[in-house]
């Protein structure tokens, strides 16, 4: 029986950076399509946080001598065909889940980069909070329309 493929720590970091880059792109696209200013701002906030977190992780990885790649790969499905046609909940929840998985792949693994792990834990908590605020805004907006 063949051994299971285990990606290296560096590959897992690259996957996380690509995931953040994709979240930034998707959220920027969606924010432009949303007509509610508060909702658009919340969506843009997630895109901005993702951009900042990419820079933080890239800098920390370089500091530890990890060769990371910030090239965008299409890990996430294309949302162009569903940009805010009543599917914002789907876009938010699916991207939140995928991003959380990308963080947890690294956070659940023992590695010697304790400072990097602390930064990633704080980033994940901040993004989860931002996604929760976005969902709350969307629910509130949906209730007002009724």
What is the pLDDT, as a whole number, of residue 75? Answer: 42
- Give the tens place of pLDDT for each residue, 15-69: 999 999 999 998 998 888 888 888 889 899 999 999 999 999 999 888 888 888 7
Tell me which CATH code domain 9-145 carries: 1.20.1260.10
What is the pLDDT, as a whole number, of residue 103? Answer: 95
DSSP the chain: -PPPP---HHHHHHHHHHHHHHHHHHHHHHHHH---HHHHHHHHHHHHHHHHHHHHHHHHHHHTT----------SPP-GGGTTSS-HHHHHHHHHHHHHHHHHHHHTS--S-HHHHHHHHHHHHHHHHHHHHHHHHHHHHHHHH-
CA proximity to 120, closest of 42, 66, 78: 66
- Give the tens place of pLDDT for each residue, 85-115: 457 778 888 889 999 999 999 999 888 888 8
What is the pLDDT, as a whole number, of residue 57? Answer: 93
Q: Greater confidence, 125 or 36?
A: 125
Q: Domain spans of the chain?
A: 9-145
What is the pLDDT, as a whole number, of residue 76? Answer: 45
What is the pLDDT, as a whole number, of residue 47? Answer: 92
What is the pLDDT, as a whole number, of residue 30? Answer: 87
What is the pLDDT, as a whole number, of residue 5? Answer: 62
């Amino acid at each position: 029986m063949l051994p299971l493929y285990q990606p290296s720590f560096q590959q897992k970091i690259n996957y996380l950076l690509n995931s953040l880059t994709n979240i930034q792109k998707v959220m920027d696209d969606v924010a432009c399509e949303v007509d509610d200013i508060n909702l658009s701002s919340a969506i843009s906030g997630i895109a901005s946080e993702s951009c900042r977190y990419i820079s933080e992780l890239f800098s920390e990885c370089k500091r530890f001598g990890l060769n990371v790649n910030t090239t965008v790969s299409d890990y996430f499905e294309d949302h162009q065909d569903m940009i805010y046609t009543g599917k914002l909940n789907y876009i938010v929840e699916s991207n939140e889940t995928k991003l959380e998985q990308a963080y947890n792949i690294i956070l659940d693994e023992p590695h010697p980069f304790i400072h990097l792990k602390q930064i990633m834990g704080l980033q994940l908590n901040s993004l989860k909070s931002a996604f929760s605020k976005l969902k709350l805004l969307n629910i509130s907006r949906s209730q007002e329309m009724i």
